[in-house]
Amino acid sequence: MDNIMFAEVNFPLLDKSTATKEILAIPEKFSFWDEYRNTLMIPLMSKGGMSASNSIPGEFKWNDHAPKIIVDWFDEYIFPWMGTKARVMALITQPNFSNYEHIDCDPHELNTRQHKFRIVLQGKTDTLYFITDKENISAPDIEGAFIMDGGWPHGMVNNANEVKVTLALGAPWTGNDSYDNINLLLDRSIHTMPEDLRAYWKK
């Protein structure tokens, strides 16, 4: 399934309204600003509390401030499907605010499988877009979870009047060999990346 740019994943839907309220109620001290993506992040599952690093030793564990509704959903459905645990972040994007255009992998990992798991709790999925050599392609607007190709240059503009709240799971998970519960909505094999990608790895 290395042709996935954007695919809907079929799971029982999380109570997004309740999950959003509980995420937004987490004290500010449990969040940090991500300069690379230009967004606020709250680590929910990590190896070291507030650390976003995957390189420190130990196992991935839920942080104490992670809402139970989210913990239960991931533990019951998502991690058994993936076959592993990984870092889980809540991304908070302010109204009329943009995430920097970027690539979610290192340059040497380009054109390898770089699937990322997402679910938008508040906001729309079609504010996410992928950058090709011809034009930007918006993601479809869906209600449930999705897989996106984090190894493709992408960005997001929250054009709503409320914060966008997204649950993001990625590294060290980079995808499964196959999926039996997805609907492929954007096929990366029919698109081409921009020739010069240097701008998408910001320092």
The full set of domain ranges for the chain reads 4-189
Tell me, yes or no, if the pTM score tops 0.85.
yes
Largest CA distance in the chain: 45
The CA angle 180-184-189, to the nearest 5 degrees, is 120
Q: How many Cβ atoms from other residues are within 10 Å of residue 191's Cβ? A: 16
At 163 the pLDDT is 95
Token representation of residue 38: 């230009």
CATH number attached to the domain at 4-189: 2.60.120.10
At 44 the pLDDT is 96
Q: Are 59 and 85 in contact (CB under 8 A)?
A: yes
Instruction: DSSP letter for 122, please.
Output: E
At 203 the pLDDT is 46
What is the residue-level pLDDT of the chain in tens, covering all 203 positions? 689 999 999 999 899 999 999 999 999 999 999 887 788 999 999 986 555 555 566 789 999 999 999 999 999 999 999 999 999 999 999 999 888 899 988 899 999 999 999 999 999 999 999 999 999 999 999 999 999 999 999 999 999 999 999 999 988 999 999 998 999 999 999 999 999 999 898 64
The closest of 193, 110, 197, 185 to 147, measured between CA atoms, is 185
